[in-house]
Amino acid sequence: MKKILELMEQELRAAFTACGYEEKFARVVLSNRPDLCEYQCNGAMAAAKAYRTKPIDIANAVVEKLTAPKELPVFEEAVAVMPGFINLKLSETFLVDYMAGMAAADKLGLEEPEKKETIIVDYGGANVAKPLHVGHLRSAIIGESIKRMGRFMGYEMIGDVHLGDWGLQMGLIIEELRDRKPELVYFDETYTGEYPTEAPFTISELEEIYPAASAKSKADEAFKERAHQATLKLQKGYKPFRAIWDHILAVSVADLKKNYSSLNVDFDLWKGESDAEPYIDDMVQMLTERGLAYESQGALVVDVAEESDTKEIPPCLIRKSDGASLYATSDLATIVEREQDFCPDRYIYVVDKRQAMHFEQVFRVARKSGIVKPDTKMIFLGFGTMNGKDGKPFKTREGGVMRLEKLIADIDEAVFARIMENRTVSEEEARETAKVVGLAALKYGDLSNQASKDYVFDIDRFISFEGNTGPYILYTIVRIKSILGKYKDNGGCVSSLAAEKKILPAKGVSEKALMLQLAKYSEVLENSFAETAPHKICQYIYETANAFNSFYHDTKILSEEDETQKDSYIGLITLTKRVLETCIGLLGIEAPERM
């Protein structure tokens, strides 16, 4: 099903070419003066320069073609306005026909992409042996929404958590475990049996072991050196340390999956930096043989600067002088692995914007070396910081980094208190509803901001049932559900409503405004994904909720005596519900039955 703008432009192209002008001038946009018209075409202004004709003459000629009698006119009104604008209002009949098409179509009329690209979304970035904290929030929920959007559009989306599971932190944990539990068989060099299947620590113990080991390494050089040696032995495949490492991964990943699940976030791949390790040596050799990697002050680097650069782009450091790999090495090797496994058409990295330079260097090496094809898109979606009301990165009252599960619990409790103020439901139901609404408040509060910008985490504003918030959106959906429930209780048929209820031309301004808002659906979804911009979906949801609520306040839906008209209203609000529920689903949000 074509987007509504495409259908309008189709009409304009025919009109422009019929008048002897190129169809490229037939672009339609939303009106910036909705009090005058719904859409407008400014092509006559540009055409006037190309054809050396007055723009108003071109506009008048095009309008004459547009207003010629047709069986199903697209425009109710087309007017040429000085100095050459074309103001457009959609035909009521055409708009209703478009609503019916959306209601009957799969995915509400969203078209499948011409090419079903395979797209890797790299998001999450948690470290094993450490709890998720608020710093992991944005990557997880922005990445999840991008993955869901692309999958809904029809692309092959592959989400990878890309765990930090390699390096010195592993050696620190191993040596701290040795100091605490020297009797474990992993530290008995004479032991030759099978290693235990059960981990010698719980997730709580593990999360306490790492910070203790890290602090000890800063005060004890001997311990730090032991940790380095343990890391080297692990990376060379020393069996006892590999067994401990397997335990660390198993315990950590199980806990991470639980915590990500509480955010309604999941991943197709649970790979980590360790998975890239087998690819590093061959990759470094390839870079060297192709003359790209060279030695500089003992380290191995690749020049990535280009003549068109407006700022300095330093060489990409591939290996340190002591032979150690770096994040760039691991990230490049991960791309090598992904190319072998999936050969993706596009990469999207959802990472803190402060890592922009790092990924610019990595992407350039990947292109320059031929690790990826020249036409492979590599997108860095850098996000800003979640700040407290003081404008600084969000902290606990004690000044520490807040655990993510604590943040979720806090917002759930705040929503629960707000629900219980009215006391219209049981405490048990309020608790369950608070989890759904709290998650919506948290995710919508984040996603409604442009990803690259910092924002202030304000729990009172996020949980408000008014304004551009998650609870307001959910309340609107629940209001529609309530109307449909009452309609059913009064004997109305609610099965396959969208297909059964014929939507009639709008009777009032707010009804048509709602239809026009729903008609933007496909355009918004396609643009939001193309620009990796979930905030645009949020803005569309908010405007749609506002349009529905205006219609609701202007219209007596259930008390309408004309059954045909009532059916039309029911069909329209059912379509509205489907649009809203589809869009919040793309953000990883669900709506409760009651609030």
Task: In whole angstroms, give the CA distance from residue 267 to residue 381.
Answer: 18
What are the CA-CA distances from residue 354 to residues 359, 401, 434, 447, 452 (Å)?
10, 18, 34, 19, 10
29-38, 150-159, 330-339, 447-456: which has the minimum mean pLDDT? 29-38
pLDDT in tens, 156-165: 999 999 999 9
Residues 6+ apart with CB under 8 A from 90: 8, 38, 39, 74, 75, 76, 516
Q: How confident is the model at residue 425, as a pLDDT? A: 82
Neighbours of 449 (CB within 10 A): 20
CA quadruple 66, 68, 72, 73: dihedral sign: positive
Of 166, 144, 153, 525, residue with least CA distance to 350: 144
Q: Is pLDDT of 496 > 60?
A: no
Decide: 497 and 574 in contact? Cβ < 8 Å: yes
Q: How confident is the model at residue 32, as a pLDDT? A: 86
User: DSSP state, 164?
Assistant: B
Going by pLDDT thresholds of 50, 70 and 90, the confidence category of residue 222 is very high
User: Would you kindly state where each structural domain of the chain is located, as residue ranges?
Assistant: 4-90, 168-262
What are the CA-CA distances from residue 196 to residues 156, 185, 240, 495 (Å)?
39, 9, 10, 56
Residues 6+ apart with CB under 8 A from 104: 498, 499
Q: What is the mean pLDDT of residues 303-329?
A: 91
Q: Which residues of 469-495 are buried (b: 16+ CB within 10 A; e: fewer)?
A: bbbbbbbbbbbbbebbeebeeeebeee
Task: In whole angstroms, give the CA distance from residue 442 to residue 136.
Answer: 13
Decide: 241 and 230 in contact? Cβ < 8 Å: yes
Q: Is pLDDT of 65 > 70?
A: yes
Task: In whole angstroms, give the CA distance from residue 56 to residue 40.
Answer: 14
Query: Is this model's pTM higher than 0.85 or not?
Result: yes
3-state DSSP assignment of residue 80: strand
Q: What is the mean pLDDT of residues 84-102?
A: 96
CATH class of 4-90: alpha beta
Residues 6+ apart with CB under 8 A from 380: 349, 351, 356, 359, 360, 363
Q: How confident is the model at residue 398, as a pLDDT? A: 67
Task: In whole angstroms, give the CA distance from residue 510 to residue 506.
Answer: 8
Q: Is pLDDT of 51 > 70?
A: yes
Q: How confident is the model at residue 389, as a pLDDT? A: 86
Q: How confident is the model at residue 495, as a pLDDT? A: 60
16 or 393, higher pLDDT: 16
pLDDT in tens, 398-444: 667 888 999 999 999 999 999 898 777 889 999 999 999 999 999 99
Q: Is pLDDT of 498 > 70?
A: no
3-state DSSP assignment of residue 309: coil
Q: Is pLDDT of 499 > 60?
A: no
Q: What is the mean pLDDT of residues 242-251?
A: 96
Q: How confident is the model at residue 390, as a pLDDT? A: 85
Mean pLDDT (the chain) is: 94
Q: How confident is the model at residue 190, as a pLDDT? A: 93
Going by pLDDT thresholds of 50, 70 and 90, the confidence category of residue 501 is confident
User: DSSP state, 435?
Assistant: H
Q: Which alpha helices (DSSP H) does 24-73 contain, by range?
A: 43-51, 55-66
Q: Is pLDDT of 346 > 70?
A: yes
Going by pLDDT thresholds of 50, 70 and 90, the confidence category of residue 321 is confident
Q: What is the mean pLDDT of residues 274-294?
A: 96
Decide: 145 and 381 in contact? Cβ < 8 Å: no
3-state DSSP assignment of residue 175: helix
pLDDT in tens, 576-585: 999 999 999 9
Going by pLDDT thresholds of 50, 70 and 90, the confidence category of residue 323 is confident
In which region does residue 394 sit, left (phi positive, over 0), alpha (psi from -120 to 50) or beta (all else)? Answer: beta
Q: How confident is the model at residue 493, as a pLDDT? A: 82
Q: How confident is the model at residue 7, as a pLDDT? A: 96
Q: How confident is the model at residue 401, as a pLDDT? A: 80
Q: How confident is the model at residue 595, as a pLDDT? A: 85
% pLDDT > 90, the chain: 88
Of 454, 446, 385, residue with least CA distance to 411: 446
